[in-house]
Structure 1
Amino acid sequence: MDAGKLNRRVLIRKQTDIPAMGAAITQTFDAGIPAWANVEPVGNAIFYGTKQVGESTTHRIIVRYQPGTVTDMVITGDHVIDQVIGGVTVRYRVKRASDLHDDRTYVLIEVELLGNA
């Protein structure tokens, strides 16, 4: 992975659901961790394969490994990733994260596109 391919600015944020009045839920987000990323849609085989098992992975996001903040053990399903495209914030839900080459250089994050934030 060339550093030049990390050409999209993203914000990795932890989402917390807090009970609100009338059985509603309020979503709150932390300040987040900014990172440069490579954002790519998955191929058709992966997209439809994950649809069949109910996981619905739509994109892969690769970010540089940062000890203590951006690791495969820190980023969980409680996180979302925001990306600003043409002035519009697009939000992704994290499905899973893994060390890309088992060398603690890059983290591969599989996500589901949620739409505009």
Structure 2
Amino acid sequence: IIKDIKRIIHAMVGARAEDRISTNEVKKHMDRLHASVKKDIPPSALLPPQPKKSSTPAPPLPPRKSPSGEAAEPSLAVVPAVTHRHTKCSGCKQSPIKGIRYLCYKHRDCSWCASCRAQGKQYNDR
């Protein structure tokens, strides 16, 4: 196989212009080479055909559960305790914010803690 490939490459970029072959001829040689190699590959070594993507949307994810088994709001789900130093909640003025910290996309200097966000205080501020 390697010898065939070297021969095809040499024919493509031969030293003399009259020795060179066209891209169509190269394609024909490569197709023949591919067909001969394909016969030697066992079917188990070939990848299975990939399923076509369907146009139907994926089913929605089930609601998240809290440790007690109750459905929880995504924003109130159990998260590790994180302390956001040098921050203050724009709603309740808690400093530093512990747990989830919500940032305002319009006002970069506004942050809210999870409880103020759950109460909707971010919509009343500013």
Same fold (TM over 0.5): no
With the length of structure 2 as denominator, give the TM-score of the two structures. 0.19
Q: Point out the structure with the larger strand share.
A: 1
Higher relative CO (Cα under 8 Å, sequence separation at least 6) belongs to: 1
Q: Point out the structure with the larger helix share.
A: 2
With the length of structure 1 as denominator, give the TM-score of the two structures. 0.20
Higher Cα Rg, which structure: 2
